Structure 1
Amino acid sequence: MNIGIVFYFLGWVLGIEGILMILPCVVALIYQEPSGFYFLGVALFCGISGWLLAHKKLKSTVFYAKEGFVAVSLSWIVLSFFGALPFFLSGEIPLLEDALFEVISGFTTTGASVLSDVEALSRCMLMWRSFTHWIGGMGVLVFILAVLPLAGGYNIHIMRAESPGPSVGKLVPRVRTTAKILYLIYLFITVVQIILLLFTGMPLFDSMAMSFGTAGTGGFGIVNSSCGDYTSLQQWIFTIFMILFGVNFNVYYLFLIRKPKDALRCEEMRGYLGIILVSTLLITWNIRGMFPDILTALKHAAFQVGSIITTTGYSTTDFDLWPGFSRTILVCLMFIGACAGSTGGGIKVSRIAIAVKTVNKELSSLIHPRNVKVLKYEGKAIEHNVLRSINTYLVAYILIFTVSLLLISLDNFDLTTNFTAIAATLNNIGPGLSKVGPTCNFGIFSPLNKYILMFDMLAGRLELFPMLLLFAPRTWMRE
């Protein structure tokens, strides 16, 4: 293993994190909050440590999948640890495991919280908490690839480890250019949402914080009611942009290069939007008697469907009080997730669609054994290695889910709480049902089980295998 390249990336991650902490420092300065000194201190430490790790010239910049995956997983752990220090050192989140949980939930765009009163946090802490969503949404390593030239095409291993979906391709021949395009699209849509919210009369602080949570499909609110106290227009803006950030960014690139027909032919996007439409209509019909009129029911249904399928986790109402049919639909959406190549979590629409096509092919082969049917997705034949990776992913997903569920059941909470807690963290959603519903929090779990849920959040964000690779003994053997 090329350990040097791993430490080199860790150095860059620490340096970038130190720079990113300037934002909460500025917020603390504006609102005259002493908590800003903790961000300043951690930022300086990150900057110095990052320089020490990354300033030496590497003997070799060549690295392969193993180094790429290990660099990504360790980078996210280091990023989360130092990102949690201001919360812990300031005493605003007094327990280290709680501070880690909150920040890992932020960077992985999960949105699960251990806090019962988020409004007790200082403004700079609230901004950092929401900003972690934006940082983690596209991935800090993708950002580094945009500014850091490395040898040949080896950095595609970083993209594959950090980008969500069954396969990662390049929009253009160079990975560095691809990373730049992704971040420019990401930044542009975020700025558009901030501007629209400002036009509705929302303060700049709220507009930025809530847009960061929407863009990263994270879901940290800055008030205890999440999105419940905002106006109907603002809630519709959140709904639309949550759905937009759940679309594969390749679609936006096709629009950017003026190929709208190719973008609209995207099979995954059409499936994604179809699931949202059907789910919204079904839930609206089911909850119509709980609200004054059908339009209010539609607004809440569309918001929660968009929030759950994109794994954002915002809420406008306590959907844990909805009928069982509606709650079941939302739980199903937790697993489906958003599109590959988006900022959303979950299994991904593309994996579900390919799995369904595989089942259909098997049924057809049983009925007509002599027929040879080629599986196609997005108009292209599905390669065997893609099918193999999807099957392997689903097996690993079920194993992690099952083991995690067994372990957290030791806290003796009801099955709905335990099941949806794992679903909410492994799929990077945020709220679950029962004791971890939209009006509750994850502070009820023991310290051990909080760490299990933290692992699930990281594993879910990094598509399982980068985190699992850390526990494989052969990863650390010299070859």
Structure 2
Amino acid sequence: MKRFHFRSIIHIMGLLLVINSIFMLTALPFSFYFEDDQHWAILMAVLITACSGGLAFFLTLGRERIVKKRDVYIIVTFGWVLMALSATLPYLLSGSIHSLTDAFFECVSGYTTTGASILSDIEAVPPSILYWRSLTQWLGGMGIIVLTVAILPLIGVGGMQLFVAEAPGISADKLRPRITDTAKRLWLIYIGLTATEMVLLRVFGMTWYDALNHSLTTMATGGFSTKNASIAHYPSPWIQYTIVLFMFFAGTNFSMMYFGFQGKLKKVWANDEFRAYFLSIVILSIISGLYVGVNVYDDLELGMRDVTFQLVSLITTTGFVSADYTSWAPSLTIMCFILLFVGGSAGSTAGGIKTVRHLILAKNGWLDLKRQLHPAAVIPVRLNGKAVSGEISYTVLAFVIIFLFIFVVGAMLLAMTGLDLLTAMGASATSLGNVGPGIGKVGPVDNFAWLPPAAKWICSVLMLLGRLELFTVLLLFTPFFWRGN
């Protein structure tokens, strides 16, 4: 039996490139409207991407396509890399970014919804290219693979394996029996919230162009902005409150939002992860906001707003900036650094370790204290009223240990490129957690442009590892993946 079905792999890779070229084409109207003279660069990028993808797609037509589990991991990992590589073309051909290293970093940051940027003067970039930059995050937010899930059945390939590999959470929580129906409903929620936020931001003072871009990157929990100062550019409290609300939505499990829109609010509140996610934001925002509002700003409303904005931005791994949180107090800087490891809910567009994993570890640790007193008792960890199997608990523990190990290795490698310890730790944590701003010289008022090329490639790898939740990528580096039956 064949271990890999490369014909099917190439076929799906080609489809991904064709889809990418179609979305890339939507940047063309912006070039004409703003007269930024980038239409030829965009058209050339579209043609190269579409022809490459179309050739791979059509040359592998005509036979039954088989996709096994091993094939899926190759498709997801290398598909993401291929998408990022093709996305560099508008930057390189337009001259907005001159080196492949910088362009690849920016595109990986886009598709992984990290939001780390090498652009020093964002406002000098042509509007059509900035729109493409925002769109890469929007596509990456839900996952180009999930989009393909709704299309693959049309060409004879089932999509459940792709969906699980692209979003390997605790379980595949399907909203409907068919995974294609699930993907469609997720995208309807995603598109609907994006459109709603865009209208609200326009009402509260943004231009339609800025409202569109910020809505694309908010719902993706990406954090790319069209302004050098990010959201700090907009002093309107209503703009900031609107973005806080939609960042919260984006960091919520989309299954919970689906139930919420159906009016099943009790079911949403009964979800342990949602309660932990919601209450942690509320409690941390109140305590930290009171401190900053009274002791730092001498303006309670502004302090509460900035703190809430930054905490939600960090927890949901969005990475928008409304204030320099590293200037508030050393204790709050440490707290913000810890939040780089938290992440939003499983089944959301957020990165990080995810709230549910922290919750399972905390529950297990608490129950271990009981087990010390009652060693013969069987006391299972319960989530949403159901016992969590030992296998899941071990998988969660393994994930967190590997996540922290990769963070340490990443920080060491970054330090070897010449970064100071604080910056290396901040860059490693924010890249792996897909957050964007970190601490040190990659903090909320800095960017990644000054990093040496080697450091940018290391951060790019960390971003990919974090976005695909480690195991999907790490499996490819194990000998049993390539040799096993």
Letter in 2 for 1:66: R
User: What is the match of residue 344 of structure 1?
Assistant: 350
User: What is the match of residue 333 of structure 2?
Assistant: 327
Shift of 1:61: 3.3
Deviates more, 1:365-374 or 1:466-475: 466-475
* Structure 1 residues 294-324: Cα deviation after superposition (integer angstroms, max 9, x where no partner): 0110010110011000000001111121101
User: What is the match of residue 169 of structure 2?
Assistant: 165
Letter in 1 for 2:399: Y
User: What is the match of residue 420 of structure 1?
Assistant: 426
Shift of 1:476: 3.9
Q: Distance in 2 between matches of 1:27 and 1:476?
A: 45
1:176-187 equivalences in 2 (<5 Å): 176-187=180-191
Cα 1:164–1:431 shift into 2, 3 Å = farther
Cα 1:60–1:359 shift into 2, 3 Å = farther
User: What is the match of residue 380 of structure 2?
Assistant: 374
Query: Under a length normalisation based on structure 1, what TM-score does the superposition of the two structures give?
Result: 0.96
* Structure 1 residues 104-141: Cα deviation after superposition (integer angstroms, max 9, x where no partner): 10110000011211111110111111111110000001
User: What is the match of residue 129 of structure 1?
Assistant: 133
Q: Determine what percentage of the aligned residue pairs are the same residue.
A: 34
1:264-275 equivalences in 2 (<5 Å): 264-275=269-280
User: What is the match of residue 393 of structure 2?
Assistant: 387
1:100 counterpart = 2:138: no
1:37 counterpart = 2:40: yes
**Helix, strand or coil at the partner of 2:232:** coil
User: What is the match of residue 17 of structure 2?
Assistant: 14
Shift of 1:152: 9.3
Q: Distance in 2 between matches of 1:58 and 1:187?
A: 34
Shift of 1:478: 7.9
Deviates more, 1:28-37 or 1:72-81: 28-37
1:360 counterpart = 2:363: no
Shift of 1:180: 0.5
1:61-80 equivalences in 2 (<5 Å): 61-80=65-84
1:403 counterpart = 2:409: yes
Aligned 8 A contact 1:309 1:338 in 2: yes
Q: Distance in 1 between matches of 2:373 and 2:62?
A: 58
Cα 1:445–1:7 shift into 2, 3 Å = same
1:235 counterpart = 2:245: no
User: What is the match of residue 318 of structure 2?
Assistant: 312
**Helix, strand or coil at the partner of 2:230:** coil
2:224 to 215, 220, 231: 220
Q: Whose relative contact order is higher, 1 or 2, with alpha carbons under 8 Å and at least 6 apart?
A: 1
Deviates more, 1:142-151 or 1:292-301: 142-151
Q: Distance in 2 between matches of 1:468 and 1:381?
A: 29
Q: Distance in 2 between matches of 1:365 and 1:286?
A: 39
* Structure 1 residues 386-406: Cα deviation after superposition (integer angstroms, max 9, x where no partner): 223212212321221121111
Q: Distance in 2 between matches of 1:9 and 1:386?
A: 31
**Helix, strand or coil at the partner of 1:338:** coil
**Helix, strand or coil at the partner of 1:167:** coil
User: What is the match of residue 207 of structure 2?
Assistant: 203
**Helix, strand or coil at the partner of 1:336:** coil
Q: Distance in 2 between matches of 1:155 and 1:389?
A: 24
Q: Distance in 2 between matches of 1:95 and 1:259?
A: 50
Shift of 1:58: 5.8
Q: Distance in 2 between matches of 1:292 and 1:132?
A: 39
2:28 to 20, 25, 29: 25
Shift of 1:164: 5.7
* Structure 1 residues 335-387: Cα deviation after superposition (integer angstroms, max 9, x where no partner): 11100000001100000000111112222211211211121101221123322
Deviates more, 1:377-386 or 1:105-114: 377-386
Cα 1:127–1:152 shift into 2, 3 Å = closer
Shift of 1:36: 2.6
Runs of 5+ consecutive residues of structure 1 not aligned to the other structure: none
Cα 1:395–1:359 shift into 2, 3 Å = same
Q: Distance in 2 between matches of 1:249 and 1:35?
A: 36
Q: Distance in 2 between matches of 1:290 and 1:58?
A: 67
Cα 1:368–1:58 shift into 2, 3 Å = farther
Letter in 2 for 1:16: I
Aligned 8 A contact 1:73 1:467 in 2: yes
Aligned 8 A contact 2:152 2:158 in 1: no
User: What is the match of residue 471 of structure 1?
Assistant: 477
Letter in 2 for 1:270: R
Q: Distance in 2 between matches of 1:122 and 1:332?
A: 36
Deviates more, 1:202-211 or 1:168-177: 168-177
Q: Distance in 1 between matches of 2:317 and 2:305?
A: 18
User: What is the match of residue 54 of structure 1?
Assistant: 57
* Structure 1 residues 66-99: Cα deviation after superposition (integer angstroms, max 9, x where no partner): 2111101111000000101211222211111011
Aligned 8 A contact 1:5 1:58 in 2: no
Shift of 1:154: 5.2
1:283 counterpart = 2:288: yes
Letter in 2 for 1:353: L
Q: Distance in 2 between matches of 1:36 and 1:383?
A: 55
Aligned 8 A contact 1:164 1:341 in 2: no
Letter in 1 for 2:289: T
1:298 to 304, 310, 313: 304
Q: Distance in 1 between matches of 2:135 and 2:327?
A: 30
1:262 counterpart = 2:259: no
Deviates more, 1:129-138 or 1:380-389: 380-389
**Helix, strand or coil at the partner of 2:246:** helix
Letter in 1 for 2:19: I
Q: Distance in 2 between matches of 1:158 and 1:446?
A: 35
Q: Distance in 1 between matches of 2:298 and 2:128?
A: 38
Aligned 8 A contact 1:80 1:100 in 2: yes
CA RMSD of aligned residues (A): 1.7
Q: Distance in 1 between matches of 2:287 and 2:149?
A: 43
Shift of 1:467: 1.8
